[in-house]
Structure 1
Amino acid sequence: MEIKHLNTESDILLGYPVMKHLRTHLDEKSYLSLVKEAQQQESYQLVGVFDNSRLVAVTGFMPMVTLYNGKFIWVCDLVTDPDVRSKGYGEALLTYVHDWAQEQGYNKVSLSSGLQRTDAHRFYEEKMKYDRVSYVFLKKLGS
């Protein structure tokens, strides 16, 4: 297993087939555009796990500062290819994020998860020891 930052356009595109399982609304072009913009403007980090040279899981995260959390890392995306779930790839990625955060001087990591993703919630709470502290609300404005 190898964990690698996906920074080049070709590396970012390698992540699309896996990310598509989580972000089903994105086509490849919009995915690439959003990742590049987030990397440039928000210090977004896209990281993948490779097993035998096959990309099997990806995460996207970024540093943030809010009054609620102070200085922290926000995990925007975390997904493992459904064909290889429950093999430790998600745990490896979140552990990588935790280590990266601490190396950069952050002592908190936060994320949100869709209400329907009960298996993911169990993973975050039981395996990774995250606390459920809030709900996330969204309001779409205009068209």
Structure 2
Amino acid sequence: MKYKTAKNNEDLKLFFPVLKELRPHLSFEEYLSIYQEAHARDQYEMVALVENEKILALMGYRVLCDFVRGRHLYIDDLVSVEKSKGHGAQLLSYAEEKARELECTGGLRLCAVLENTGGIKFYEKNGWKARAFAFVKKPL
């Protein structure tokens, strides 16, 4: 198995079907547009766990800095093609290594929607602690 970081539109095209499992509302055009803006503004990166040219899992992340955590790695997207194979956990380990490499002294952070009980159990099993509620509101 190896890790592959998206470097061009060909890689993004390869990653899209896997990310679409997590974000089914996205068209390919929206996906490209959002990726390009997030990559330019926040250095958002996508990395895939690949075996025999098949993507097993995919993660999107960026480095943020705020008053709560300082510099930290934020995981926006994490999806495994086959559940319970350990691929998601491998990407979380990759994220920890990347956080050390990028000097993210505030650690790592992610959000999981409350209805995602399977995801929440997965994160807890992998040593993550629930520390906050995330609130959202659309502008009127």
Residue type of the alignment partner of 2:38:
A
The Cα of 1:28 is off from its aligned counterpart by 0.8
Task: Give the drift of 1:59.
Answer: 0.5
Partner of 2:32: 32
- Percentage identity across paired residues of the two chains: 31
Gap runs ≥5 in structure 2 = none
Give the Cα–Cα distance (whole angstroms) in 1 for the partners of residues 119 and 63 of structure 2. Answer: 22
Equivalenced residue count is 139
* Counterpart for residue 43 of structure 2: 43
Q: Once the two structures are superposed, what CA deviation does each residue of 1:15-68 show, in whole Å capped at 9, x if it has no partner?
A: 111111111211111001111111111110110111221012111000001111
Q: For 1:84-103, list aligned pairs within 5 A.
A: 84-103=82-101
SS in 2 for 1:20: helix
How far apart are the structure 1 equivalents of 2:67 and 2:24? 32
> 5+ unaligned residues in a row in structure 1: which ranges?
none
4+ runs deviating over 3 angstroms: none
RMSD over aligned CA atoms reads 1.0
User: Aligned residue for 1:140?
Assistant: 138
Alignment of 1:102-141 (within 5 A): 102-107=100-105, 108-126=107-125, 128-141=126-139
Structure 1 residue identity aligned to 2:119:
A
Q: 1-side partners of 2:120 and 2:8: how far apart?
A: 31
Question: How far is 1:2 from its partner?
Answer: 1.1
